[in-house]
Chain A
Amino acid sequence: MDINSIIPLLLALAWLLPLGSFALIFLFGPRMGRAGRYSAYLATGAIVVSCVLSFAALGFWLTEHYPHAAAGHGGHVAQPISGEWYTLAEFGRLRLTIGYYIDSLTLAMFCMVTLVASCIHVYSFGYMHEELSDVTDPLAPLSNGQPLRRRGRYCRFFQYFSLFCFSMLGLVVAGNLAMVFVFWELVGICSYLLIGFYRERRSASNAGNKAFIVNRVGDFGMIVGLMAIWTGLGTFSFAEIFSQVRPIAAGHQLQTPEGLSYGLLVLAGLGIFCGCVGKSAQFPLHVWLPDAMEGPTPVSALIHAATMVAAGVYLVGRFFPVFTPEVLLVIAVVGCITLFLAATIAITATDIKRVLAYSTVSQLGFMMLALGLGGWLAGMLHLFTHACFKSLLFLCSGSVIHACGTNEMPEMGGLRRKMPITSITMLIGCLAIAGAGIPTLIGMSGFGLSGFHSKDYIMAQGLLFSTANPGFGPIFFYAALIGAGMTSFYMFRLWYMTFAGRPRDEHVHSHAHESPLSMTGPLMVLAVLAVVAAWNLPFTELGLKPLLEQARPVGTVEGVAGGMLLPNVAMPAEHLAHEYANSVKAEWSAFAVALLGFLLATAFYGLRKLDPADARRTFSPLYKLFVHKWWFDELYALLLIRPVLRISNWVEAIDKRVIDWLADNSARAVAAVARLDDWIDRIFVDNTVNLLARWTYSTGLWLRRLQTGNVRQYVMWLGAGLVGLFVLMNLYWNYATAGG
């Protein structure tokens, strides 16, 4: 069978099944069983079948492209499968299509998204259970102070979930940038709808708006990038862009293509990255993600941890061949700032989901950093491992919240006996994210949970970069190291505060209970994944790393020695990072800081040898900075939101006071002129005419008196007239003839 036709078909099916499920639930959801309970089976069935199809497609892929040990770094180039499904619009030579671009990265993403989504769908059976009946929502008080009672919305939740899965898979399979943008927006709207799932709550609808609008800021940048590429290259298709930017003739090295100057190429890269900054909640657009935790926890796990927020990283990875060294450096800087900033906030947060949210932001920063330093595989690998352990952590936190009814960690504590499965799976998640493992010892290569491998790659790349750029390179490496230490600290802080010690709130503790199997089952599956995700299948070369290595963009195997604007930056080749000396050093330093973080967390929260309150007092200014999230929300409100609202009020005032004033007053002026005209008519024209008429009339009246009917009088006048005439003639005749 030809994989070039079967794989697109399988993926198309896997992609469209959730759409079908969405349409059915949208139309008939509430009628599917009592309170729409069967909608959950429909949505889950769709995504599970998608998962099976994705793995089948992966299987077909492996029949042609089985990874070989000899392949090494980029030796075996697997040609991507690209093509079109249908045309959206066509203008002369410009064509916009719905198409696909499938390589092993696409397939791995399909498998990961559908697998994680399947787990979270099943988990939602239990978590969203209360939506099956009427719900009392104390967080949305009515004006009379009573809590709101509303109908359950079980089926709507699964409806949005299906729409999200469809959009996410569309984003992954997309064969061109415009299609990416389409699904980019669609996952955004799903995120908006699901964050605002409890739409009666003010905080939830605010968070939804914030998420969408902040993402739109990123999308604005992305549109600029799209414009530059579309106008310069005349295509959005990945395959064509890559072949124009990295022509075979030039050995797949980055070129300034005809029609695009170097500056525009940089701008295009920055624009696309700007979209990724929004979607992946990078500094300075990271502010929406923590607020997005207003949504139900499965949403946080699926959308705001495992898949959608990783889409930004995915796009950076996908579009990697087009980024110039300048853009890569910007990506690295942004990632570096983000991972540090978010980690500091996570240390002080007390809401269990917010800790995880900031942790997500921080981990996404790690991925961006790795990609920016040239570590394509490192960034991509971390995307996958992170998806596994972060969705696990979120689901565990959901299980805890479900049991306790609160998000606040200071009200928890001592839950490990009540919730053994949750506590153990969460511990596995913590170990994975902290990068627990055994670093390379004499002869034995390092080995650990999934996070160990991916984080190790990132550290190695960072170290390599700092060796290659001794001037500023070490900043990235040490920031990443500190970030890794903080990761370990806040994750174990979270675990200790939640599960260890004695209960802080008896009421909460007494009501807590282990979650049902529908929730713990997915936890266990994901815990296994969190451990093994980065491993190869035993005794084979088959695993995530070799698979992703196949998708490495051609031409990026070798390092790059700086761009046109920044000639002094060297982007070292990634395979050099795995050389023994470099990787051992990186592994051990990462291991050391993680251990340090763990020990500190144990000292503060596990053994309680140290009091966090003391630390808070000692570092009071820093603590204030962190706990207020570096005042980003306040800053944006002051600098952006309020000015825009003020300007919009001005605009409204201009309309009313200036334009309408002009229009109304010119109308009034015309009316005034008309009145003046009317007045002139009446006073002058009419009066003159009337005066004349009056004169005529009065003269007539006066003359009337002559008409007495008395013949003798008439004769007298006749005579007098005749005499008068003669007198006049005598007087003037002479003059007249004399004058003539």
Chain B
Amino acid sequence: MSFFNFHDPEVLRTWLLSLIIFLPALGAGVLCVLPIRSDQFFKRFSLAITVLVFLLTVWLAIPAGDSSAVGHFTLGEPGMQNVVDHEWIPSFNIRYFLGLDGISLPLVILTSFLSVLAMWASWSIDKSVRAYCALFLLLETGMLGVFMALDFFLFYVFWEVMLLPMYFLIGVWGGPRREYAAIKFFLFTLAGSVLILIAILVLYFTSNPHTFNMLTLAEIGQMPDSPFHQTLLWGKSVSWWAFVLLFIGFAVKLPAVPIHTWLPDAHVEAPTPVSMILAGVLLKMGGYGIIRICYPICPDAGYELAWVVCGLGTVSMVYGALAAMAQKDFKRLVAYSSVSHMGYVLLGIGAWSATAEFQYNTDYWTMGMSGAMFQMIAHGISSAGMFFLVGVVYERVHHRNLDQYGGLFARMPVFSGISMVIFFAALGLPGLCGFWGELFVILGAWSYSKVLAVVAASVVILTAGYILWTIQRVYLGPEYKGPHGDALTPMTRREKYIAAPLVALAILLGVYPKALFDYVTPTVQKTVVEMKDWSEQPKADSQSVGWVERSEPHHRKNPPKKMVGLAPLDPPYFSEQPSVDLQETEQP
């Protein structure tokens, strides 16, 4: 087979996806050897690369319709599309296996999109620009690879590839405490990725034949007599351990309380564009990993530990919001708002409501998980926007003390107007992107646990509190109270061009969320239905303790009720509730 036979769609697809992933790395390589010494050139060159990658990913997102063009996305098709599968290291059955579906495609586009904006926001970097640009491009390769890889080994390679450039970007180009922040970021994430590696190896060696193929692993994990059910350690199954290890690894990245404290420090010290990428893309890898890997491969552990996932999500939401309220540093506040907002993602993913108690109705969980996906994209837009806006004002006055702002509306009207839109998007105002994710997550959580849903809903009050208080302290008031007041010049044209697409997307997704749900929902629904089918399986196999425990989890008390039992009962207004009747009639 020739890799240059461009008439073969298979070959074209390989080139297209590989180009998207490796073009930035290639660019980084070229940058390193070019005999040019112009900083401006390096930035322009990198920007051009990121724009090119962005255009290629947009090509991927165009709905296929009737056209037979390679790479277009078929809407409504839940499975993997654009699959590229080649041998890589045959002796270990490691493959160069890429693909896209409704979960990864939006994240890929978010990555390439934010990379363009962040690269453009890097104009203010003036220290070792060549190295900065090279590392930035390498980082983009890592991020895109993580979202597109379907082979676990490949996934892990990209995961690590993304880690190191980030370490240097924070540690070299950061603020005064950059070394502390960088090492903290690195160690937290590394600890998580070691756990992920262990889980990958455990799964690899348990599967037979040994495989790193995520899709195959998911199939194995969902089989009634899955080899993952054998006991591994302390009476818990392979599946349980794999889930826990993977989950911790991804939760660090998300980040979930209590393993979130690397985030505020990393954000405070990181330069603006790196913060944009960090909040906009890197955090999403945690959520992506949980949706793509944890649940499909280890459904029984996901079922058993749903309350942990949801509980952590809710705690993160409340905790992050409260912590944000106490901050004096503008960037720290935005960082904690990220913790709070990413808590919704956990809650939406984990709210396993397709149970017997609920007649295996998958719609609500689909809604919650789609909401979590939406929340990830929306947070990518709003948090990247917020970090960019903080950066704009920081570049002017060189401080971030919230008590020393005020009156920015008069000094920088356009900037303040844009800030209002972005901050309101983060506040979850309807008509802007932040609203739908939160709404659907909370609505989905109710059918899993009413208590958690109510606690989660109460976060809207705290969010309004810290966002409005911030707006008041920074933008309102009669005059600017801090140092370097003369430097508060209106936004430059470049800054406006960076902010404008974020504002436009925030409004577009807020007004027409279906644009995103059309991509996301079919795939999410497929995942959820798989989980439901798994939980409906007869529980014959009960050799391991982990497997036995699942047959009576904490919230599945009643035997499955069939829809037949819910005949159109129309009890009169004052009569007993229908559910009472049902239970009496159904259990002889």
Asked if A200 and B184 make an inter-chain contact with CB atoms under 8 angstroms apart, the answer reads no
**CB within 8 Å of A: which of B453-488?**
453-454, 457-458, 460-462, 464-465, 468-469, 472, 475-479, 481
In Å, the complex CA distance between A708 and B407 comes to: 94
In Å, the complex CA distance between A249 and B572 comes to: 11
Asked if A90 and B517 make an inter-chain contact with CB atoms under 8 angstroms apart, the answer reads yes
Asked if A255 and B571 make an inter-chain contact with CB atoms under 8 angstroms apart, the answer reads yes
When the two chains form the complex, which single residue of B367, B429, B465 contacts A185, counting CB atoms closer than 8 Å? B429
Q: Is B234 at the interface (CB under 8 A from chain A)?
A: no
Asked if B429 and A189 make an inter-chain contact with CB atoms under 8 angstroms apart, the answer reads yes
Instruction: Give B247 Cβ to nearest chain A Cβ, in Å.
Output: 19
In Å, the complex CA distance between A202 and B430 comes to: 27
Residue from B187, B443, B478, B571 with most neighbouring chain A CB atoms (10 Å): B478
Instruction: Give B425 Cβ to nearest chain A Cβ, in Å.
Output: 12
Instruction: Give A492 Cβ to nearest chain B Cβ, in Å.
Output: 38
Instruction: Give B114 Cβ to nearest chain A Cβ, in Å.
Output: 24
Residue from B468, B479, B514, B569 with most neighbouring chain A CB atoms (10 Å): B468
Q: Is A20 at the interface (CB under 8 A from chain B)?
A: no
Nearest residue (CB) in B for A26 is: B417
Asked if B461 and A216 make an inter-chain contact with CB atoms under 8 angstroms apart, the answer reads yes
Asked if A89 and B436 make an inter-chain contact with CB atoms under 8 angstroms apart, the answer reads yes
In Å, the complex CA distance between A86 and B515 comes to: 12
Asked if B468 and A254 make an inter-chain contact with CB atoms under 8 angstroms apart, the answer reads no
Give the bracket for the number of chain B residues in contact with chain A.
35 or more
Known: A140-B478, A667-B187. A226 touches B261 (CB 8 A): no
A200-235 toward B: CB 8 Å interface, digit per residue (1/0)?
A: 111001101100110011011001101110110010
Q: Is A143 at the interface (CB under 8 A from chain B)?
A: yes
Q: Is A686 at the interface (CB under 8 A from chain B)?
A: no
When the two chains form the complex, which single residue of B261, B436, B454, B574 contacts A663, counting CB atoms closer than 8 Å? B261
Asked if B261 and A651 make an inter-chain contact with CB atoms under 8 angstroms apart, the answer reads no
Asked if A141 and B478 make an inter-chain contact with CB atoms under 8 angstroms apart, the answer reads yes
Known: A200-B407, A258-B568. A644 touches B525 (CB 8 A): no
Nearest residue (CB) in A for B517 is: A89
Asked if B574 and A200 make an inter-chain contact with CB atoms under 8 angstroms apart, the answer reads no
In Å, the complex CA distance between A255 and B574 comes to: 8
Asked if A186 and B430 make an inter-chain contact with CB atoms under 8 angstroms apart, the answer reads yes
Q: Is B403 at the interface (CB under 8 A from chain A)?
A: no
Asked if B579 and A94 make an inter-chain contact with CB atoms under 8 angstroms apart, the answer reads no
Nearest residue (CB) in A for B466 is: A648
Asked if A224 and B454 make an inter-chain contact with CB atoms under 8 angstroms apart, the answer reads yes
Instruction: Give A147 Cβ to nearest chain B Cβ, in Å.
Output: 9
Residue from A150, A151, A226, A227 with most neighbouring chain B CB atoms (10 Å): A227
Chain B residues with Cβ below 8 Å from A231 are 364, 443, 446-447
Chain A residues with Cβ below 8 Å from B325 are 644-645, 648
Instruction: Give A663 Cβ to nearest chain B Cβ, in Å.
Output: 6
**CB within 8 Å of A: which of B70-127?**
none
Chain B residues with Cβ below 8 Å from A644 are 322, 325, 462, 465
Chain A residues with Cβ below 8 Å from B519 are none
Q: Is B566 at the interface (CB under 8 A from chain A)?
A: yes
Instruction: Give A650 Cβ to nearest chain B Cβ, in Å.
Output: 8
Chain B residues with Cβ below 8 Å from A196 are 476
Asked if B442 and A223 make an inter-chain contact with CB atoms under 8 angstroms apart, the answer reads yes
When the two chains form the complex, which single residue of B457, B468, B479 contacts A209, counting CB atoms closer than 8 Å? B468
In Å, the complex CA distance between A667 and B190 comes to: 13
B427-460 toward A: CB 8 Å interface, digit per residue (1/0)?
A: 0011100011001101100110010011001101
Instruction: Give A567 Cβ to nearest chain B Cβ, in Å.
Output: 8
Asked if A90 and B429 make an inter-chain contact with CB atoms under 8 angstroms apart, the answer reads no
Chain B residues with Cβ below 8 Å from A181 are 430
In Å, the complex CA distance between A703 and B409 comes to: 90
Q: Is B366 at the interface (CB under 8 A from chain A)?
A: yes
Chain A residues with Cβ below 8 Å from B366 are 91-92
Q: Is B327 at the interface (CB under 8 A from chain A)?
A: yes
Asked if A258 and B578 make an inter-chain contact with CB atoms under 8 angstroms apart, the answer reads yes
In Å, the complex CA distance between A649 and B512 comes to: 38
Nearest residue (CB) in B for A87 is: B514
Q: Is A247 at the interface (CB under 8 A from chain B)?
A: yes
In Å, the complex CA distance between A230 and B430 comes to: 18
Q: Which of A342-350, A580-588, A652-660 contacts B (4 or more CB under 8 A)?
A: A652-660
In Å, the complex CA distance between A86 and B514 comes to: 10
In Å, the complex CA distance between A254 and B575 comes to: 12
When the two chains form the complex, which single residue of B264, B424, B436, B579 contacts A189, counting CB atoms closer than 8 Å? B424
Chain A residues with Cβ below 8 Å from B514 are 86-90
In Å, the complex CA distance between A602 and B431 comes to: 51
The 8 A-B pairs with the shortest beta carbon distances in the complex, nearest first, are: A92-B363, A182-B430, A227-B446, A652-B326, A648-B325, A648-B326, A91-B367, A200-B478
Q: Interface on B for A, CB 8 Å cutoff?
A: 184, 187-188, 258, 261-262, 264, 319, 322-327, 362-364, 366-367, 370, 407, 409-410, 424, 429-431, 435-436, 439-440, 442-443, 446-447, 450, 453-454, 457-458, 460-462, 464-465, 468-469, 472, 475-479, 481, 512-514, 517, 521, 525, 566, 568-574, 577-579
Can you spell out 25 A-B residue pairs with CB atoms less than 8 angstroms apart? A89-B440, A89-B521, A90-B514, A92-B366, A94-B363, A142-B479, A151-B410, A182-B431, A189-B429, A199-B476, A199-B477, A205-B476, A216-B460, A216-B461, A220-B457, A223-B442, A224-B453, A224-B457, A227-B443, A230-B443, A249-B570, A250-B572, A258-B566, A261-B579, A644-B465
